[in-house]
Every structure is written in structure tokens, then in C-alpha cells.
Structure 1
Amino acid sequence: MGTSVATTSFAVLGVFILCGPSLQTEIEKHSLYYIYTALSKPVNQPGIYQFTAMGLLDDREIDYYNSEEQRKIPRQHWMQEKMQEDYWEKGTQSRKSKEQWFNVNVDILMKRMTHNESDVHVLQWRHGCEVEKQGDKVRFSKGIDEYSYDGDNFLSFDDKDSQWVAPVAAALPTKRKWDNVPILNQYTKGYLEKECVDWLNKFREYGDEQLIKGSPPEVHVFAKRCTSDKTKLKLSCLATGFYPKDVILTIRKYRSSLPEAEIESSGVRPNHDETFQLKKSVEIPQDEKADYDCFVFHRTLTKPIISRWDGTCTNCNEGLIPVNGTAIGVGVGVVVVGLVVAAAICLYLYMTKRLVFTRQSNTNGAVQGNNANGVKDTLLPGKNFSNGHAAANGGHNHTNGHAPTAANGGSNGMTDIV
């Protein structure tokens, strides 16, 4: 399943590096997604609920709901200030409806898969849209509407052809059921391409300064002795504190980028303050005196950051040696501790392959879901034609959950799985 973020287009990366910092792309990408997760039974672990739901704007959590507190709440101060109380009340009712819907459907899928009730099973749903912004023009880029069961793709909507795609045989009954309701697919497509985009633009207007302008990266370059080969050093470039999450980071030798095949990358990871970090490393001979630097570009910068390695090793002489006056080890340690804490929350689901949408967001923990009120049919074949995003207006549209008012993420009636 794909991931979406506010970003600078990388289509001109090669030209940018060749021509220098004066060439900067003006295309930005923005996204709005809602993620729902339901467990088949409680796991009695702190911070992991049987049902959760969240909204993500450009990879930042803007609202949240769980089955224990049963209330949709803002996660950003500007959401609390801009959205009226009626919005949160209707959103709460929508989340409660989806919670019931998910409880029904995860049980149906367990029976369809002939899974026993002693294990924990997970049903997830992610839907939303991405846009490209260039100057004052905003253009729809793509829509995502997808379901997964126990970490595997179960069903997804093909926005181009307006039909559902079943990657596994167990999803075929659901595909046939939903495709046999043309108004359902029409509304799904309309929600993804229009309603979702409208909410995305509205939230972007409401967003705070950091959301709109972003946060630039801090860059550190340091080297440590390799643990596997004492004759080599591991040279690392760390960019941290940036938002949005897309960034260009390369390690260069004599101003020429090293091949990616030689580079070890941490991947982009979240910090505790909703910014991101990325570290790349390469092994080099300990006695090499080449000129290495770290080249970083982010859309918040007017020119790239080029940070040169000063040739020192932080642990070759036992203690920590500051690089450019900064105790790198301490800073990295704080970030790692935060990641370990977050990872502990997700460990149970991850080890059992129950956590899904890992590329969608690093802030999910146990991703959140929602179920529909009074559902008698279920997602696999059924009578209800609403998968539920009309709740913000309090509507009960005959949709697969992509009715207007995606901001609240759903309506009261959702098409059942079976």
C-alpha cells in the first residue's frame, strides 16, 4: 500500500544536482488520509485499543478516536480552533458507527478465512487523496481506498476504472457485491477526486505555520569505527528536524555522489515532535583522507546544505569526540529512545504480522478503524451501500464510505464485506 506526503517533486533531481541550487522545483504534493484499524478481540496492552481511527494531513495526525474513550478529538491546535463543536460531535457519531461496522466485518472475515478466535486478527481500511500544487493551481493526483486483513492486501478501489480489485480469492465475493452497485463505485470515485480534495484544501488553509511552510533539516556528519571490521570507519550523514518528510540526502566523495548500492539507509523516520529524520552511512578505510561531504536538499531550503566531514572518528579514541561542536551521539540517542518507545507499542502486532499500512504513516502505532451502526450485512456481500464518509454532514449516502464530509471519515451505513 502506498504512502503519501507533502513533498517537493524529485523529477528534476538529476538536473538540480548538475545545475546547482538555483533550480528548485515548484511542485508540491499534499495528502489527506483516514486510517481505521479493528482487532478481533482486546489484547490488554497499554495504548493498543480494539478499535482506533485517525486522520492524517501531510503525514501529521489531525484527529483521533479509540474504542475506550469513544470520542473524536483534535490532534492539532488549529483543528480545535477552526472546527466547530458540531463537527466533532458528528465525527464522534461517525466513528462509533464505523467501530460497530468493523466489529461485525472482522468476525465475518475470520469465518471466511476459517481462522479461530483464539488468535488476534486485524481488519484495516485506508482511504484518502493526494494532490499536486504548483503556484496557485491544485490538481488531483490520485485517490486511495483499500482494505487489508492480517497485514495482507484484501481489496482496493481502482479509481481510473471505477471498480474494485481483489488480490486474493477470499475478496472476490466482496468485489462482486460492491461492483454490482454502480452508484457505490460512482460515489467512491467522486469522493476521492472531489470531496476529499475539498477537505484537504480546507485543512491546508487552516493549518499552522509549520504545516504550511515546513521545517528545515539540521545536518550532522560523523564517523565511528566499524564493529565488523576494525580497519574501517562507518561515515554517516544525519538530517533531522525536517518537515515534510521527503528529502534529498547523498554522501559525496570529492563532490561526486556515491552509488546507492554502497549506502546503508535508515529510511525516513519520525521524531517525537512530528518532524522527521534520515541517516545514511557508508564504510570507508580508516586511513583514507578523501574529501567527504553530505549533500542535503529540502523544499524549505533556498539552497542545499553541504556539510563536510572533518576527518575525526567519534569512538576511535574511546570517548565521544564532538563534530562541528555538536555531541552527535547524544542527539542520535534521544531520537532512538523515542523510536524504541513507539516501536514497543506496535511490537505485538508487528511480530504477529497484524500491523498494516506500514508505509502509510509512522505515527499510527496500532492503526485506527471504525465500524458502522446497526450493520446487518457486511463488507463481503450486503445491503448497506455506505462505507462511510458522509458523517461530517450527518448524511447517510449510498456509498462505500466516500461520501462528502470525509473530514469525519464516514456515514452510518457501510456496505458489508460478505
Structure 2
Amino acid sequence: MFHTGSHSLWAFATFIHGQTQFPEFSVVVMLDDLQVLYYDRNIKKWISRSQPSSTNVVEDFILEGANIVMEHVYNSMSSPAHRVNLLSNHTGGVHVHQRLGGCVLDNDKASPVTMWEAYDGTAATRYDMHNRTVNPLWPQLMWSTKEKEYWPMQYRHIYQPICIQTLKYYLEKEKNIVLRKERPRVRLIHKPCTETGEMKVSCLATGFYPRHINLTVLRDGHPVPDEELILGEVLPNGDGTYQTRRTLSIRSEELRERHHYTCSVTHLTLDNKLDINWEPEEGSDVAVISSLVVVLVLVLVSTILLFVIYKRRRREHPRVRLIHKPCTETGEMKVSCLATGFYPRHINLTMLRDGHPIPDEELILGEVLPNGDGTYQTRRTLKFNEMEVERESPPCQTDLAFAAQTGPDRPKLSVSAALGHGAAGKGRRP
């Protein structure tokens, strides 16, 4: 069967050095943008992702060829010599070695097999049966004289025939998917951007297959340079088709010049290019400016409201409590000072022992946390071990004080307690 258009078969192999939850070695085979085969070293067999076949004998033959290539690739990527070459500058950890190899059939004309190799995301080698390039980071990957004779023969007499046979087989098997044609639906969308006063004009093409498409935006019949456009990627839709877009931002001064804009699309499914036109109407820039004024007014009103709320919340003073309770498991006594219900957020909370500040190293410093009503809370905690609580040598009492202050112009709030042997702590608020 003669196949029109360009189609490709690519195998993506991954070898992981180091311990992970993923298979050490795996291969994914793609026909154009359709996955047809999967293999990993845990299951040790090919899993077909394509439609069931009535010609199992032919498929078994194809998979036998795939096994030959897969074993060659695995043995090469896992060989101690290759591992030493790649890992010579690395010790320990997880490292990923990848190979991408495949062939293209362009109107039934086969291209040479091409192979790329990468290590930890950096390109290492490239080979297309004519030329081979090596990243200077890995000079040890250069072929020896013997390898220069061996590998071209492998590619020419093993990899190339197997790749083309496999490509033709799956192209015939999946022709209802990869050879189908879906026309693009094209829309030209324009809407004002109130933040900048510009008009955004987007050309959207969606629902097309195959994936390749040419999408051009023209101004008065001349292509708009890519530098002026936001170029969207070709993205998949949920139904197996694709979409993409180009977006142009038009300044208000340019809108007044009344240029003529065109969204032009060419695709395999179209006999002729498809053009969608748009020209700014009179008053387009006025609409943008009016929208901008409305937004500015809303922002101003919101700012005033926020300022009023802020002023109101500044009058919310902290409520301070001193909490002390024994820990029966450890024999310790925990004394905490809790300040809550204050706004704004900043507060000074100090703990003193007999009138002297206690160093932060002895305290458990709580963060300033939000309450549900827009105010804040925080605390400081001091631990007494069992010996400090039970000691009887006089004086057997410790005076503790906490001071909280929300700002230099606010009064200082104090809470104090006296702890001693046989006595419970007692708090007071002056």
C-alpha cells in the first residue's frame, strides 16, 4: 500500500542508574503521536497499545524484530563499559540515561534511522547513519576504529529494515486513526484588556488532525512578525484532535489607525487556505478606556473600604492570659503566656523571671497566627523540670511576669504569677 504524507516511528528507551520505584529499563514506541508498544525489564515482554490484530503471525514477526533491537539497546545501555563512560564524573544518587531512535516514511520514501542519546537531560550523542556528533563533555563516547566499522553495519542491516517494517505494519494497522483527517475550526476572538487599555486579538484553530498546521496572523495583508505575537503550542484535545492559537496585543493608538487583521490557516484537510478577517470598529478604543475608568473607580472604592477596616482594627487590643499546668508524665511544669485578639499583627511579648528577661533559648517561641475573625494570636512557653519545681532550698519561689505591647503608643499589659514548692501558680492582671 502506498502511504501519502509523512509518518514516523520512534522508540524512547530509558535506563535508570540508582534505586527508584520505576523499572530500571523501559521502552515506549510511538507511531506519529499514537503509542503502539510498551516494554520494561520488570514484565519482560512487549505490551501492545494498539487495536487487536487478526494477523497474529505478522505481529509476532514484527515483535521478534522489536525484541532484537530492544536487546541490543539494553545490552549497550547496561554494559559496564558504557556505565563507566557516563558515570565517570558522578558518584552515587540517581542518574537517567535516555535514547531516542526511529525512522520516517515520507510518501513511502524511507529516511535513515536517527538516534539521539542523553544523560541526565543533557544531549550526549547524535547519529543518522552518515554523521555522528559527540558532546565534548563525554569525549570517551567517541567511537574506536572497530566501532566505526561495526555500528554503521548494525544500523544499515538490522535497525533500518526493522524500523521501516514496523512503521509500515502499524501504519496499516492504525490507518483509521493516524490517516484520518479532521478539518480545523477557526475563530478570531477579540476582547479589551482593561488593565493595559489594549485589545487582545486571538486566532484559535481547534479540532484538527493530523497535528501539523500553519497559523498566520496578518495586518493589512502582511504577516505579523512572531516577535509581536504570543505563540501558543499545539495542544491535544480530549477527542484525539489538536488546538493552537496566536495572540496579538493591539495598543489603543493602533486601534485608532483601523488596520485590517486576518487569521490565515493552512492544513492538510483544506484545499485552500482559510481566512477569518476582523477590523476594529469605531469607538473600540473608547470602549477600552471606559472599561479602564470603571476598573479604576472600583479599585479606588475598594482601597477606601480597606483603609476604613484597617483603621477600625487598629483599636483591637490583645487579651492576655497566663496558663500553667503540670505534665504528669515528665514531672515538668509548663507556663505559657497567650496573647490573642490583637490587630495589627506586630506585638512584643516578653517573659521575665524576678524582673529579668528570660533568654529566648529557654523559651518555646510560638509564631504569630491568624484567628478566624481577622485578628492574631501568639504565645511564649517556659518549662520547669522536676528538680526546679520540687526544690526546697529558700527562697523557694519564682516570680514570673509577661509583658505584651502592640505598639510604642499603646499601654503595656502585664500578667504575673508566683511559683513555689507546694503552691500552685496564681495569675493576676494589674
- Give how far 1:75 is off: 2.0
1:305 aligns with 2:281: no
1:237 aligns with 2:203: yes
Q: What amino acid maps onto 1:63 in structure 2? A: L
Query: Aligned equivalents of 1:34 and 1:43: distance in 2?
Result: 22
RMSD: 3.6
**What is the CA deviation profile of residues 102-143 of structure 1, one whole-angstrom value per residue up to 9, with x for unaligned ones?**
44567434532x21222x31111111111321xxxx222343
1:147 aligns with 2:124: no
Q: Name the TM-score, length of structure 2 as normaliser.
A: 0.55
- Give how far 1:34 is off: 0.9
Give the fraction of aligned pairs with identical amino acids, expressed as a percent.
22
Match of 2:35 among 56, 61, 81: 61
Does structure 2 retain, via aligned residues, the 8 Å contact 1:155–1:171? no
1:280 aligns with 2:246: yes
1:33 aligns with 2:10: yes
Higher RCO structure (Cα 8 Å, ≥6 apart): 1
Match of 1:196 among 132, 154, 163: 163
Equivalent residues in 2 for 1:283-298, closer than 5 Å = 283-286=249-252, 287-288=255-256, 289-298=258-267
Q: Which residue of 1 aligns with 2:47?
A: 73
- Give how far 1:249 is off: 0.3
> Secondary structure, in 3 states, of the residue corresponding to 2:113?
strand
Q: Which residue of 2 aligns with 1:218?
A: 185
Does structure 2 retain, via aligned residues, the 8 Å contact 1:222–1:309? no
Which moves more between the two structures, 209-218 or 146-155?
209-218
Equivalent residues in 2 for 1:355-374, closer than 5 Å = none
- Give how far 1:146 is off: 2.1
Equivalent residues in 2 for 1:150-161, closer than 5 Å = 150-160=120-130
Gaps of 5+ in 1: 1-25, 319-418
Gaps of 5+ in 2: 292-430
Q: Structure 1 residues 86 and 132, CA, compared in 2 at 3 Å: closer, same or farther?
A: closer
Q: What amino acid maps onto 2:271 in structure 1? A: T
Query: Aligned equivalents of 2:140 and 2:265: distance in 1?
Result: 46
- Give how far 1:278 is off: 1.9
- Give how far 1:279 is off: 1.6
Larger Rg: 2
Match of 1:128 among 82, 102, 124: 102
Does structure 2 retain, via aligned residues, the 8 Å contact 1:42–1:49? no
Q: Structure 1 residues 177 and 156, CA, compared in 2 at 3 Å: closer, same or farther?
A: farther
- Give how far 1:149 is off: 0.9
> Secondary structure, in 3 states, of the residue corresponding to 1:186?
helix
Match of 1:208 among 175, 179, 191: 175
Query: Aligned equivalents of 2:250 and 2:23: distance in 1?
Result: 46
Q: Name the TM-score, length of structure 1 as normaliser.
A: 0.56
Query: Aligned equivalents of 1:186 and 1:101: distance in 2?
Result: 16
**What is the CA deviation profile of residues 242-280 of structure 1, one whole-angstrom value per residue up to 9, with x for unaligned ones?**
222211100123343222222221232334444332221
